[in-house]
Structure 1
Amino acid sequence: MSGTRHNLERLLSPRHAAFIGGEDAMHAAVRCAEGGFSGEIWGVNPRRTTLGDFPCFRSVGDLPAPPDAVFLAVPSATAVDVVAQLAAFGAGGVVCYTAGFRELGGVGAELEKVLAEVAGDLALVGPNVFGLLNYVSGAHLWPYAHGGKRVERGVALVSQSGMFSGYVTTNQRSVAFSYVIGSGNQTCLGVEDYLEALVHNPAVNAFGLYVEALRDIPRFAEIAIEALARNKPIVVLKGGVSEVGAGSTVTHTGSLAGTDAFYQALFDRLGIVRVATPSQMLETLKLLTVAGAPNGKKLAAFTCSGGDAAMVADGGTLLGLEFPRVSLSARTALNELLPSIASVANPLDYTTPLWGNEQALTQVFDALVRDDCDMALLVQDYPPLDMAHDVAMYRTDARAFAAATAAAGVPAAVCSVLAENFDAESRSLMSQQGVAPLQGLGDALMAIAASTNVKERRRCIVSNRDELRLPPLQAINGTP
C-alpha cells in the first residue's frame, strides 16, 4: 500500500480531525461534532484560542499529534504553505475547501502544480471542493448543513460536482449514504482512488458517481470490475455530454469531458449502470441496494387502475422491458381469485374490490409472479397520512405483495406514479421487507430497465476478469 493510499485510509477512518481557518473551518468543526464523531476535534488559527467550542492552536506544529483528517479553508496562496506544513508534520489527509486554482487557469493553474508537489504522500481531496461526509463514523469534513444520518451500511457517492454531492444528501427518497466525497479539481486524488479505498469497505454496498472525466481509465476499469465482482454495483451520471455541457466542465473543474460514445462503451463493458438525471440515480441505487437487480427484462406488474396499467405497459415497453403473456395455468387461477370486473392481463389491474384483502391479494400476486417474470412491480400512490384508513389498506396490499414476491424469490418494487405520493413511513416499511420503494413511475421504469443486465454482466466479469482488463495507462501512452 502506497503512502498516499495509507493516508487516504486514515482520512476515511480518522481518530482526530483538525480544522484550519476562520468561520468556514468553525462551521465544518460544528458539522463534525453534530455528526457524532467520537475522536478529538482541534482548530488551527494563529489569532484564536478557540474555534467555536473547540481548542485552537496557533500552528500545525502546535497540534497534539499529526491529525488523521484535516479541513482546510484559507486563501489559495496560504493553502499551499499549510499543505506543505501538514505533509511535513505527518498528517493523514486534507480536504482543501479553498478554490482559486486550476479552474481559473493562468496563475491558479501554476499554483495548483505547486500544491501537488508540496502535498507529497498527503491524501489531498480537492482543492475547490465542498468536502467529505462520513456517515459511518460521523467524521464530517464539510462546512454546510446537510442531510443524511449515521448508518452501518450504505451507498458511497463520489462526485466531481460539489453542489451535486450536497443536495443529494437531503433527498427525500430513502437512499442511505455511507460516504459522500467531492473530488474537486483532483490535484492528487481522482475518482478511481476513492473507489479503490472503499471497494473492500463492508460499510459500502454500492457506488454512485457523478463524473465529467476520468483520469486513469484502465485503473478505474480494474476497480470497477472488482466492485461488481463483490456485488457492489456502480451507477453513474456523466456530465459534459452536450457541446455546451462539455464546455461547462472546463470552467467548472478544469477537466475535459471526453467523447460520450467512448464513455458509454466503457460503462457497457464494465456493467456500470448509466443514468441521465439525479432522480434516476437515486431510484436506481435504491432498487439495487434494497431489492437487488432484476433477473432479466420480464416484468410482472400490478395496479389498481386501468390507466396506470396502460402507462406501465407503454413506458416499460419503450424502455425495452417485456410483459409476458399470462400462462393458461396462471390465468385459470386468477380467474378464480379476481372479481368479475377484472380482466386477466400483464400488467394486471386487480381492481378496487380486493383492496385491503391481504389473503386474497397474496394469492393473486403469487399466481402471476410465479408464472414467468424476472421482477415484480406494484403501482401505488399513497394517500396523505391523515387519511389513516386508506393508508392502512394500501399498506395491507403492499404487505401481501412483499410476502408473495419473497416466497417466489423474485426481486420486487412498489412504485408511486408521482414521486411525492409515497410517504417516508410507508417507504421504510417496504425497505424493511426487501421491497424497493420507488418514487415516480418514469424514474422507476428507467431504474428497472437500466439494471436488467447487471447480474449478467457480473457473471461475465467474474468468469472473464483477465479479458476485460485494459492495458495500464503508461502502455496506452507509450511511456515506460
Structure 2
Amino acid sequence: MTRDLSRLLNPETIAVIGGGAWCASIIKAAGTIGFTGKIVPVHPSGKEIAGQPALRRLEDWQGSIDAAFIGINRSATIKTVDTLRRLGAGGAVCFASGFTEAMAEDSGGADLQEQLVRAAGDMPVLGPNCYGIINALDRVAIWPDQHGMQAVDRGVAILTQSSNIAINLTMQQRALPIAYMITCGNMAQTSQADIAMALLDDHRVTAIGLHIEGFADLRQWEALAGKAWDRGIPLVALKSGQSEQAQQAALSHTASLAGSDAGAQAFLDRLGIARVHGLPEFLETLKLLHCVGPLASNRISSISCSGGEASLIADLAQARAVAFPPLGAGQKSRLKQALGPMVALANPLDYHTYIWRDGAKMTQAWEAMTGSGIALTLSIVDYPHTDAADWACATNAALEVRRATGAPFAVVS
C-alpha cells in the first residue's frame, strides 16, 4: 500500500504529545530550523510545555493535525495513534521503544507492534523507536534533540534507522547541503523504501543516502531503484552487517535482519545502487553527487604541486576501478604554455610550484586537465590550519576553471 507522506513531511500543524524534556525539545528544534506553522502541545494535565500551554486532549484541537510527535510510553502510544487516525491526522512519529527490537527481553513487544500497525490503519507512521524528521527545505523539524541543520533551497536526503547516527550527521561540517534527515526506526508500517519513494517526488532533492540495516520487501527496493533511475536521482547505500556482531546489533537495535553481506551486495549491484563503507565516504559521495551528479565514466585527472601526492592518488586508484587516461597532444600543448619546459607532463600531474600565486597560469594549467573524456578533475590542495591566505590562489583557480568550462571539478583536501 502506498501512503501519502506529504502532510507528515511538510506539515503546517504539529501536535506534540507528552510532557517530558523530549517533547520540550521538539518545540525548540522546530524553532531552530525556523518552523512558522502551528505547534500544539498535548498533555492530560494541561501544563505548559516549553512555555506553551497544552491541550488536555487531542480532540480539543479544532483544526487539522498534519503531523504528530508521540513522546509517551509504548502502550499509550497505541491508543494515541488510534485517536490521531480517527481525527484524520497526516501522520505520526512514534518515539517510544520496547517493540520488536526488544523481543529478546520482552516477548510482548511483537504483539504491541502489531497493535500499533492496526491502530494506524492508512495513516503513515514512522517508527516506533524513532526520532523523526528534519525538512530543511521547508523549515520543518519534528525532532526531540539538538540538530545542526540549516535551511537550504536544494540538497540531499539522508534516511537512517539510527537516530544517533542521524543526530551526528546533522552536525557535519563538510559543506554538504542536507535537505532531509529522516529516521526510520523499526519501520513497523512505513519502510525506508516508502519514504525514499516519496522524496523522489521533490525536485529539490539531488541525491538520496540510505543507511541500511536490513532489507525487508525486496520488491519495494526494486520499485525505488526504478523510480530513482527514471527521475535521474542517484541512490547511495551505507549497508551495515558485514560482521556477525553487526548483524546481531541490527537485530537488537531495530529488529532488522541484516542477512548475508554477499547477498546484500549482489542485490545492491543488481539495483544499480552504489555502496560505500563508512560515514565520511557516505557524506563525500553525496556531496559529489549533489555538486556534479553521477560521473559519465571512470576516467579522471588529478593535479597537485607535489610528486608525492601524484604518486599517492595514482596508487589509490588501483583498488577503486578508476583510471587516469594519458594526456592528449592538445592538453600537453596547453600545459606547456602554462608551466614551461621544466615540468614533466602526465596524469596525475605534479605542476611543481613555478606558477604558484599566478592565478592566470594556474587557471590555464588546471583547465587543460579538464575536457572531453575526463569525468572529473581533482585538484589536491591541503589548506593549512594556521594561515590559508596564501592558498587563495588555488581556490580562485578552481572556481575560475569551473566557471569557464562547466566541467566537473573537485578540490580534494
Provide Cα deviations, 1:346-366, integer angstroms capped at 9, x if missing partner. Answer: 111111121121222222223
Question: 1:411 and 2:412 equivalent?
Answer: no
Listed one character per residue, the Cα deviations across residues 410-468 of structure 1 (whole Å, up to 9, x for unaligned) are 3211101xxxxxxxxxxxxxxxxxxxxxxxxxxxxxxxxxxxxxxxxxxxxxxxxxxxx
Secondary structure at 1:413 match in 2: strand
C-alpha distance in structure 1 between counterparts of 2:372 and 2:128, whole Å = 55
What secondary structure, in the 3-state scheme, does the structure 2 residue paired with 1:179 have? Answer: strand
CA shift for structure 1 position 11: 0.5
Indicate the larger mover: 334-343 or 97-106.
334-343
Contact 1:158 1:181 in 2 (8 A): yes
Match of 2:47?
49
1:27 corresponding residue in structure 2:
25
Greater CA deviation, 277-286 or 261-270? 261-270
State the shift of 1:203 in Å.
2.3
Shift in Å at residue 80 of structure 1? 1.2
Q: Which residue does 2:57 correspond to in 1? A: 59
Residue 385 of structure 1: how far off its partner (Å):
6.5
1:72-221 correspondence to structure 2 within 5 Å: 72-105=70-103, 106-221=107-222
Note the C-alpha offset of 1:372.
4.5
CA-based RMSD of the aligned residues comes to 1.7
Specify the SS of the correspondent of 2:108. Answer: helix
Tell me by how many angstroms 1:225 deviates.
1.4
Instruction: Give the 3-state SS of the residue equivalent to 1:370 in structure 2.
Output: coil
Deviates more, 1:113-122 or 1:67-76: 113-122
1:399 aligns to what?
399
What TM-score results when the alignment is normalised by the length of structure 2? 0.94
Q: Please give the per-residue CA displacement for 1:8-27, whole angstroms capped at 9, x wherever unaligned.
A: 22111211001000121111
| Contact 2:363 2:398 (C-alpha < 8 Å) held by counterparts | no
CA contact (8 A) 1:382 1:394 kept: no
Stretch of structure 1 that moved more, 258-267 or 196-205: 258-267
Aligned residue type for 2:11? P
Tell me: higher relative CO, structure 1 or 2? Use CA pairs within 8 A at least 6 residues apart: 1
Q: Letter of the aligned partner of 1:120 in structure 2?
A: G
Q: Secondary structure at the match of 1:140?
A: strand
Secondary structure at 1:322's aligned position in 2? coil
Deviation digits for residues 66-102 of structure 1 (CA, Å, limit 9, x no counterpart): 3111011111111111111111222111101111111
Contact in 2 for aligned 1:358/1:400 (Cα 8 Å) = no
Letter in 1 for 2:65: P
Instruction: Give the structure-1-normalised TM-score.
Output: 0.82
Give SS of 1:43's match. strand
Q: Residue 343 of structure 2 corresponds to which residue in structure 1?
A: 342
Q: Determine which of 5, 9, 13 is the counterpart of 2:10.
A: 13
CA contact (8 A) 1:293 1:411 kept: no
**Structure 1 residue 172: deviation in Å?**
0.7
Cα distance per residue 1:288-336 (max 9 Å; x no partner): 1102222211111100111111111111122121111223343344233
User: For 2:198, what is the secondary structure of its paired residue?
Assistant: helix
1:193-216 deviation per Cα after TM superposition (whole angstroms, max 9, x unaligned)? 101211111221110100111221
Identity of aligned residues (%): 35
Q: Which amino acid aligns with 1:61?
A: E
Give, in angstroms, the shift of residue 279 of structure 1.
0.6
Is contact 2:359–2:393 with CA below 8 Å preserved after alignment?
no
CA–CA separation in structure 1 for the residues paired with 2:129 and 2:363: 53
Shift of 1:189: 0.5
Deviation of the 1:218 alpha carbon: 1.2
Cα deviation 1:39-73 (Å, max 9, x = unaligned): 11110001133222223100111122231110111
Query: CA separation in 1, counterparts of 2:339 and 2:115?
Result: 73
Residue 33 of structure 1 aligns to which amino acid in structure 2? G
TM-superposed CA distance for 1:340, in Å, is 4.1
Q: What is the match of residue 314 of structure 1?
A: 315
Q: 2:372 and 2:71 mapped to 1: Cα distance?
A: 60
Partner residue in 2 for 1:477: none
- Structure 1 residues 61 and 339: CA distance shift in structure 2, 3 A: same
Report if aligned partners of 1:133, 1:139 keep a CA contact under 8 Å in 2: yes
Stretch deviating more after TM superposition (291-300 or 89-98):
291-300
Q: Contact 1:302–1:309 (CA<8 Å) still a contact in 2?
A: yes
Q: Distance in 2 between matches of 1:413 and 1:156?
A: 21
1:328 aligned partner: 329
Deviations 1:235-254 (A, max 9, x none): 11001122221111111111
Q: Which residue of 1 aligns with 2:375?
A: 374
Structure 1 residue 400 displacement after superposition: 4.1
Which residues in structure 2 correspond to 1:266-345 (within 5 Å)? Answer: 266-345=267-346
Change in Cα spacing, 1:387 to 1:320, as seen in structure 2 (3 Å) is closer
Q: Within 2, Cα distance between the matches of 1:46 and 1:53?
A: 16
Amino acid at match of 1:134: N
> What is the aligned partner in structure 2 of residue 427 from structure 1?
none
- For the residues of structure 2 that align with 1:335 and 1:85, how far apart are their CA atoms? 74
Could you tell me how far apart the structure 2 residues matched to 1:348 and 1:381 are? 16
Bigger shift: 352-361 or 166-175? 352-361
**Residue aligned with 2:3, SS:** helix
Contact kept in structure 2, 1:384 and 1:391, CA below 8 Å? no
The count of aligned residue pairs is 409
Q: CA contact under 8 A between 2:46 and 2:53: conserved in structure 1?
A: no
Output the CA distance in 1 between the equivalents of 2:25 and 2:359.
51
Contact 1:102 1:109 in 2 (8 A): yes
